[in-house]
Amino acid sequence: MGDIDDFRQAVESFIAQRGWTATRFGRTIAGDPLFVFDLREGREPRSDTRQRILKAMQDEGEAKAPPPLRIGVAGLGNVGATLVGILARDGEELTRKLGRRLEVVAVSARSRTRDRGVDVSGYAWFDDPVALARSPDIDLFVELMGGEDGPAFASVRAALELGRPVVTANKALLARHGVALAKLAEESGAQLGFEAAVAGGIPVIKTLREGLGSARIARVYGIMNGTCNYILTRMSGGIQADGPPVSFAEALKEAQQLGYAEADPAFDVEGFDTAHKLAILASLSFGCEIAPDQIFVEGITRIAPADIKVAADLGYAIKLLGIAQRSAEGIEQRVHPVLVPKTSAIAGVDGVLNAVVLETDHVHALMLSGPGAGGAPTASSVLSDILDIARGTRVPALGVPSGELVPYRPAPMKAHAGGYYIRLNVKDVAGALAAIATRMGERGISLESVIQRPDLRVKDDGGDGVQTRTVVLITQETMEATVRETLNQVAGDGFIVGMPQVIRIEAL
């Protein structure tokens, strides 16, 4: 590209970045209102004119450019190091988009010497993240250490107390202290961004807080844990086209080998990680306080390949969903495996992907799906919060001022109504199945189907050598309390062995 082309491009992008007209440029910078029109028509200004105009553009830029946003990043792990790398690599482009420079000036982590794949030698180092949060040399504090208390809570609180904006990806922190932190942010006039805390790279917080800010949400549900979704997908024979379905233990081992599951996977597979995210989504959806301890939580560890097979034969997939919905009693918040129709959009969300469905009262359902974790997708959500703060966007952290949040009114799980998948190990004695069906009938439970197949044997450890047959019952809509009471009676009658497997069917 020749000098004149470079010059033309510099003039055009200067105009575009500022949203100026060509005439304004001509008057303010070039001293001739028609200058840009002449340039566009191919007239080439002399070299000394170009130099004069380039200098004027530079002076104007320096005079008007807002000061850089100085960022302190605490936590240089998967997400933090990726964020620092992106800001170093894409800094110029981001500056052009924002008209303001984003500058990492200080960082904190535990080990100063660890190789993180990014060069942090040019940034001030803080051993103490609280000291970094309070440093007068930063304008924005980014918390990427994790943990619901400890240094994460202390440093975020310290920054907000000073009126300093904070961005965090920490769902545990938000689930536990979100309301207090939102209140603190309001009192000190600081912004608190946490887009990355729920479903990693999916912009669900912004969608709820801003895009659907005026809509009344009726139900929000989603696949919010990639580890569980990977395991369930593999158990159903998905992902590896020619691979056979595998057991829970095999799928978990595979997920660990691929880095999708922690060495200690309990927090994920028992459903608690999903519960943290659901608590945050429920608050944003229903304008209520965050209530992570009021969630009914059941993980996926008891799902057997036979459950997946029967479900598939009946036209369902099994997914671990977090679901929050309004009901007559209050708000239901539950995390458990669910039979979802294979025809539903969420049934097609496989592997480590996440998806969140937002349903409004006007029967408008919106599904957002994408990568729920990983350094780059998560850092990109962190970055989107940083950009909002750099632009000066102001929104209450939880969508409404914290004083307007209503206390969380839990709808008891026993009042939940829906269809049920019930798998029983029934003793192989005459009349057993008839007795079970009678118990169900007495409690008003209508059975949609009863499935008994020789290939469905699930070994149960309570067997004592008793011969059993695996039987699956599908109920029509029934109350949770009725199902539980009836199954207690069935167990008391002595016709089944071991614990019944109960999976809820969700109407989607």
Catalytic residues: 277
Please answer whether residues 232 and 321 qualify as being in contact, where contact means their C-beta atoms are separated by less than 8 angstroms. no
Residue 459 beta carbon to ligand NAP: minimum distance, rounded to whole angstroms: 36
CB of 37 or CB of 125, closer to ligand NAP: 125
Q: Is 235 in the site for ligand NAP (CB under 6 A)?
A: no
Torsions phi, psi for 310 (to 5 deg):
-60, -45
Closest CA to 483 of 459, 460, 500: 500
By C-beta, is 144 or 323 nearer to ligand NAP?
144
Binding of ligand NAP by 120 (CB under 6 A) = no
Stretch (H or E) spanning 400: none
Residue 95 dihedral angles phi and psi, to the nearest 5°: -60, -40
Strand 140-143 and strand 166-168: the pairing is: parallel
Q: Kindly state the number of chain residues that form the binding site for ligand NAP, as judged by CB under 6 A.
A: 25
The only residue of 169, 184, 208, 432 in contact with ligand NAP, by rule CB under 6 A: 169
Identify which of residues 82 and 478 has a Cβ nearer to ligand NAP in the complex: 82
Chain residue at closest Cβ approach to ligand NAP: 77
Smaller CB separation from ligand NAP, 263 or 328: 263
The yes or no reply on residue 351 touching ligand NAP (CB under 6 A) is no
How far is 332 from 323, CA to CA, in rounded Å?
Answer: 8
Q: How many CA atoms lie within 13 A of 499 on its CB side?
A: 6
409 binds ligand NAP (CB under 6 A): no
Judged by CB under 6 A, which of 110, 364, 409, 459 binds ligand NAP?
110
The single residue among 53, 69, 73, 79 that binds ligand NAP, judged by CB under 6 A, is 79
Does residue number 113 form part of the binding site for ligand NAP (CB under 6 A)?
no
How is 264-323 classified by DSSP, letter by letter? S-HHHHTTHHHHHHHHHHHHHHHTB---GGG-EE--STT--HHHHHHHHHTTEEEEEEEE
Cβ atoms of 174 and 148 within 8 Å: the answer is no
From the list 6-14, 105-113, 182-190, 425-433, the region that binds ligand NAP by CB under 6 A is: 105-113
Tell me how far apart the 2 most distant CA atoms of the chain are, in Å.
104
The token pair that represents 100 in the structure block: 């303001």
274 binds ligand NAP (CB under 6 A): no
Cβ distance to ligand NAP smaller for residue 72 or 129: 129
CA 480 to chain centroid, in Å, comes to 28
Residue 425's beta-bridge partner residues? 470, 497
Helices (H), 315-466: 375-391, 432-442
Q: How far is the CB of 144 from ligand NAP (least distance, A)?
A: 4
- Per DSSP, helices labelled H in 72-137 are 78-98, 129-134
Q: Which is nearer to ligand NAP, 108 or 470 (CB)?
A: 108
Least gap, CB of 399 to ligand NAP (angstroms)? 20
Q: Which of residues 4-63 bind ligand NAP (CB under 6 A)?
A: none
Helix (H, G, I), strand (E, B) or coil at 336: strand
Least separation in angstroms between residue 266's CB and ligand NAP is 15
In whole angstroms, give the CA distance from residue 414 to residue 484: 8
Burial of 19 (0-12, 13-18, 19+ CB in 10 A): exposed
114 lines the binding site for ligand NAP (CB under 6 A): yes
Q: Does 111 bind ligand NAP (CB under 6 A)?
A: yes
By the rule CB under 6 A, 75 interacts with ligand NAP: yes
Min separation Cβ 75 and ligand NAP, Å = 3
CB of 262 to ligand NAP, least distance (A): 10
- Among 39-47, 168-176, 302-310, 411-419, which window interacts with ligand NAP (CB under 6 A)? 168-176
**Per this entry, what is the length of the chain?**
508
Site for ligand NAP (CB under 6 A): which residue of 33, 68, 77, 348? 77
Sign of the dihedral through C-alpha 328, 333, 334, 338:
positive
Q: In the complex with ligand NAP, which residue's Cβ is closer, 132 or 440?
A: 132
Rounded distance between C-alpha atoms, residue 174 and residue 169, angstroms:
9
151 counts as binding ligand NAP under rule CB under 6 A: yes
Report if residue 78 touches ligand NAP, rule: CB under 6 A. yes
Residues in 359-388 that interact with ligand NAP by CB under 6 A:
373-374, 378
Q: Which is nearer to ligand NAP, 144 or 349 (CB)?
A: 144
Phi, psi of 401, deg, nearest 5: -55, 145
Closest CA to 470 of 456, 490, 460: 456
**Distance in Å, CB of 230 to ligand NAP, minimum:** 13
**Residues lying near ligand NAP in the complex (CB under 6 A):** 74-80, 108-111, 114, 129, 144-146, 151, 169-171, 196, 200, 373-374, 378
